Amino acid sequence: MTLNTMQETSAAAAPVMSRAEALAILTAPGEPYALETKTIRGRAQKVFAHAPASLGEMFEATASDLPFIIYEQERISFAETQRQAQKISRLLVHHFGITKGDRVAISMRNYPEWVLVFQAATSIGAIAVAMNAHWQPDEMAYGLADSGAKVLFADAERLERLARAKVDPALKVVSVRAGKVAGAEDLADLLASFDGPALTAVKVEPEDNAIIYYTSGSTGFPKGVVSTHRNVISALMSWELDLRAGALSSGIPMVQPVEQPATLLGVPLFHVTGSHAVFLQSYRTQRRLVAMYKWDPDQAASLIERERITTFTGPAAMTGDLVRVAKETNKDLSSMVSVGGGGAPRAPEQVRQIEASFEKALPATGWGMTETNAIGTGIGGLDYLGRPASSGRCSAVLELLIVNEAGEAFSAGEPGELLVRGTSVFPGYWNRDDLNKTLFEDGWFRTGDVAYLDDEGFLFIVDRIKDLIIRGGENIGCGQVEAALLTHPDIHEAAVYAVPDERLGEEVGATVFSDKELDPETIRHYLAGHLAKFEVPRYILITHEPLPRTASGKILKRDLRAEAVKHFASLA
């Protein structure tokens, strides 16, 4: 294993070659990141010639004795992680009857068991289903039924919600750090008593499905994003390639660090930012994964000091918290070399604050989606400081296109809908052929983002076509919140929209029509049984008149949003 990082250098260092030239050198035949063309699902795509064939192969190749998972007082090496995951794999196969292609659901906090179960399931060709830990009973029931999960691993909080959900009686439930719970088998007891036979080798191919992650859309229930082993591994290797291209183009050599690098896991593992950019990327870089039970900026600063954390990646709200703590605390945060972004855009001022607040750390970010396995574009260091509103340049294994409503390509600088295609792009939504037919054309996936590319290929996201709120990195479908509001017997119409928020980027706002005397707190209390906490509107306006509509009958949501923003600003 090699532990690579970039050597410190002067901020004024001039590039020695262009990024395109660096990529051409690094991806040439015979190089570790060599790219070749393969036909996948009927389309020619760029693939990494020397990539592991599967996640299981990657796990096995990186099972060193170096420490890996750090959670409170627990410390587990890469090798021990592999051993424990293999035991869970045997449990899945011989106790639960899991075979290749079966779905194994995970719903819990960022416990070490999340990592172990994910590794165990994907290593035997099963599909890991990452369930949103904020989901309420109805949402849990939907995700389990939609994915067809045969086994669910869940902690105490999720098990309590599951008890109030209508699920298939055939679902096998395993409790994690919850002891004995009715209707569930305890994982610790199972592992202590189970001694099943060795596993028969399962051939897992690059195009086999590996994961299902659920993402909120503008309407209805969340959609299951299915990705293959090649999709995921291409994303991991693309980040590595970008790091090396940045070093080569700037003339900064990659060097062996004195200490093992470490990253702070403060974002949930059920998001691709947490699972891909933080957790999975740690295997090949051999860095320690320091997991937090939940986000707490003061605790984060203590962990950075204690564990000598080198990188942190999170949405703007979290990195903003870290900037604040860096200014106020006397903790030693000098080990930090990178503060990455994801999930939601940063304000340009925060980009500059990151550089000013840390001794060595430079800001970085990118644009990606669950559907692209978190990659798309990337930007960091001097490029980012010079273009703080940009999301960066395109990954070497992807293509970007900006089009108008007729599907015609736009020139540089003209905003239109962003399309993406390439090796990390998912093959489609689980059980949603209706959507797949409308969102894919010739391999291009319609992202729903409005963006433009400048004449140097830097991407700028300017708006969203989809009716979506991004609250601190969480995607919230307006349609789903509206549907929950309309189940209230005294609410006749509802419009949900984004309200700007300094810390989280956006908050959930709603205007509802009722002919009864309701108050916002009563509505929030009602919604707590139907929506995840982060989906419940912070801002609610109640009117006794029907909501305004266009001639075609559509609610004038933009007008309602403007009215709400003005109203709540006047109360601040």
Walking along the chain (572 residues) 10 residues at a time, the average pLDDT comes out as: 33 71 96 97 95 98 98 97 97 97 98 98 98 94 97 98 95 96 96 87 96 78 95 97 91 79 96 95 97 94 95 84 84 88 67 78 87 93 84 95 89 90 97 93 92 92 78 82 87 89 90 92 92 93 86 75 89 78
Residue entry with tokens 């030239």 = 21
Q: Are 25 and 247 in contact (CB under 8 A)?
A: no
Domain 225-464 is in which class? Answer: alpha beta
Q: Are 230 and 47 in contact (CB under 8 A)?
A: yes
Query: 102: helix, coil or strand?
Result: coil
The single-letter DSSP state of residue 279 is I
Q: Calculate the alpha carbon distances from 319 to 85, 262, 358, 368, 386 in Å.
A: 32, 17, 12, 18, 19
Bridge partner residues of 311 (DSSP): 263, 338
Residue closest to 452 by CA, chosen among 414, 420, 419, 421: 414
Q: How far apart are CA 71 and CA 290, in angstroms?
A: 6
Residue entry with tokens 């796990």 = 59
Q: How far apart are CA 104 and CA 125, in angstroms?
A: 11
Kind and range of the H or E run holding 85: helix 78-90
Query: What is residue 28's predicted lDDT score, i.e. its pLDDT?
Result: 97
Phi-psi region of 443 (alpha: psi -120 to 50; beta: other; left: phi over 0): left
Residues 169-194 have pLDDT tens digits of 999 999 999 989 999 999 999 999 98
Taking the domains of the chain in order of start, what are their residue ranges?
Answer: 76-204, 225-464, 470-571
pTM given for the model: 0.84
Tokens at 34, concatenated:
């060599």
CB count, 10 Å around CB of 18?
12
Phi-psi region of 413 (alpha: psi -120 to 50; beta: other; left: phi over 0): left
Q: Which amino acid is at 303?
A: L
Query: 337: helix, coil or strand?
Result: coil
Q: How far apart are CA 107 and CA 134, in angstroms?
A: 9
Looking at domain 76-204, which of 1.25.50.10, 3.20.20.80, 3.40.50.980, 3.40.50.280 is its CATH number?
3.40.50.980
Looking at domain 470-571, which of 3.40.50.720, 3.30.300.30, 3.40.50.1100, 3.30.200.20 is its CATH number?
3.30.300.30
Kind and range of the H or E run holding 6: strand 5-6
DSSP letters, 216-268, are: --SSSS-EEEEEEHHHHHHHHHHHHHHHHHHHHHHTPPEE--SS--EEEE-S-
Residues 322-379 have pLDDT tens digits of 888 888 888 888 898 988 876 666 666 777 788 777 877 778 888 999 999 999 999 8
Q: Are 65 and 78 in contact (CB under 8 A)?
A: yes
Q: How far apart are CA 390 and CA 388, in angstroms?
A: 6
CB count, 10 Å around CB of 216?
26
Answer yes or no: same fold for 76-204 and 225-464: yes
Residue entry with tokens 């090798």 = 79
The single-letter DSSP state of residue 534 is G
Q: Are 309 and 331 in contact (CB under 8 A)?
A: no
Bridge partner residues of 428 (DSSP): 226
Query: What is residue 569's predicted lDDT score, i.e. its pLDDT?
Result: 86
Q: How far apart are CA 468 and CA 284, in angstroms?
A: 34
Q: Are 230 and 146 in contact (CB under 8 A)?
A: no
Query: What is residue 2's predicted lDDT score, i.e. its pLDDT?
Result: 32
Q: Are 473 and 267 in contact (CB under 8 A)?
A: yes
